[in-house]
Chains A and B, each alone.
Chain A
Amino acid sequence: MNASPPEGLAPPLAVLLELTHRCPLRCPYCSNPLELERARGELATGQWTRVLDEAAAMGVLQVHFSGGEPTARTDLEALVAHAAGRGLYTNLITSAVLLDRARIAALAAAGLDHVQISFQDSEAAGADRIGGYPGGHAKKLAAAREVKAAGLALTLNAVMHRQNLHHLPEMIELALDLGAGRLEVAHVQYYGWGLANRAALIPTRTQLEAATATVEAARVRHKGRLVIDYVVPDYYARRPKACMGGWARQFLNISPSGKVLPCHAAESIPGLSFENVAQRPLAAIWAQSEAFQRFRGTGWMPEPCRSCARAEIDWGGCRCQAFALAGDAALTDPACALSPHHGAVLALAEAESEAGREAFVYRQIGARIPA
């Protein structure tokens, strides 16, 4: 293993802390791994504050407090205050079902910059079914209003898939009604639980095209009032997404137990070993760890990526998706039309989206995943 950091390696822009995998919701597309971390394996407060110190010192600018449900940690306010004290831009990524006025006030006082609340649908029946949590939608609405009342910036994260895409216009209206400055229309990505539930989630091509048109029209109509970010499912794309802005280029993800990952799904790739913040400084892991070096830059690329004009635009797409769909993380992402596996992926998307499966495998510790 080459122990020296790559020349010209820029510091990461952002770190996402999965403070816990505990969560009251059971969303069938959760980005957490299928092997969920138990509470007893979580880092202690003092370990997280040290991670924040190290992140700020190495040039990280933003910290995302995520999970699971990060508000399940009673030390969240202390961690936010610590991060704010180090000059980090603090973002809370939450389901919001545990947030009340007092907690929001405490987080605002701790220096929280921004809150992102996920919504499962635009109305309660669908949302509570998808999230697997009765009463959740009403709690989210109340919490979102409290976030705004506390003067915090709000992003609404609308997670979209075949079973709720018909409500996309209502989701946009909901974002406006709640006073969100930003809306993420995020089509489900097929990793972890989302991959296990792909047949129940993947949109038809017709649905996807309608959604894209709806987003484009809404961007124009609400310009200056609501910023809309759009995350597409790339099974129907011709070119892959620049996943994470390139493997180990801008972003770090830290699991509840302290494992440092280039992305939240990286553990799905066999053969990579991930180092832990309890054992090694974050900066050293970023610069030198084998898992980060493995797909960093363009040196690992096979053809057609290696000689592609887009090599440093989309960075070969997504390594986790290459493994999930083509069986080898070192191949071109099959979302790319230049991949020999692209046709099969497209056929899979069309077949699954037309078959109409509705039942979900809900996220829970020890759930049985059908093969």
Chain B
Amino acid sequence: MTEGTLAPDCRPRLAPHVRLRFDAVRARQVLLAPERVLMPDETAVAVLQLCDGERSLAAIAAELAVRYQAPPAVVAADIAEMLQDLVDKGLVLA
């Protein structure tokens, strides 16, 4: 099983039964899955919106490093950790 860290060339995407959508009542993005409602913060939303199954983890990190003017290696490590947690929960496929 995928234990530990995700490979830079993996192409993460939301699992088919998981939906990221804007909720007008709470004025924020929500992540919906069976018996789960997650309220991802702004950074997590930015990552999840790029998890389209096309971009690689490295490409997502590079894009966000530019957007947030942060060191790419740091961004890549943060993203990998966050996505690994969602992979373990069955919410993201990588």
Contact = CB atoms under 8 A, between A and B. Distances in A.
A325 interface: no
Contact of B25 (A58, A184, A226): A58
Contacts of A59: 23, 25-26
A153 B16 contact: yes
B67 interface: no
Interface string A215-234: 00000001111110100000
A182 interface: yes
A227 B89 contact: yes
Nearest to B87: A224
Contacts of B1: 222-225
Which range holds the interface residue count of chain A?
20 to 34
A153 B23 contact: no
A113 B30 CA distance: 15
Give the bracket for the number of chain B residues in contact with chain A.
Answer: 20 to 34
Contacts of B88: 223-224
A226 B30 CA distance: 23
Interface string A48-67: 00000000011101100000
A91 interface: yes
B32 to A, nearest CB: 4
Contacts of B19: 89, 113
Contacts of A89: 19, 32-33
Nearest to A59: B25
B53 interface: no
Contacts of A91: 34-35
B2 interface: yes
Contacts of A223: 1, 3, 88
B34 A155 contact: yes
A181 interface: yes
A107 to B, nearest CB: 14
A225 B32 CA distance: 19
A151 interface: yes
A61 B17 contact: no
A223 B34 CA distance: 17
Interface centre among B1, B34, B90 (most CB of A within 10 A): B34
Given A13-B37, A224-B1, A181 B90 contact: yes
B44 interface: no
14 contacts: A11-B26, A58-B25, A59-B26, A87-B21, A89-B19, A89-B32, A113-B19, A114-B34, A153-B16, A181-B15, A181-B90, A182-B35, A224-B87, A229-B35
Given A62-B37, A113-B19, A184-B35, 15 more contacts: A11-B26, A14-B37, A57-B25, A61-B30, A91-B34, A113-B32, A114-B34, A116-B34, A151-B16, A153-B15, A181-B90, A182-B35, A223-B88, A224-B2, A226-B90
Interface of B: 1-3, 15-17, 19, 21, 23, 25-26, 30, 32-35, 37, 87-90
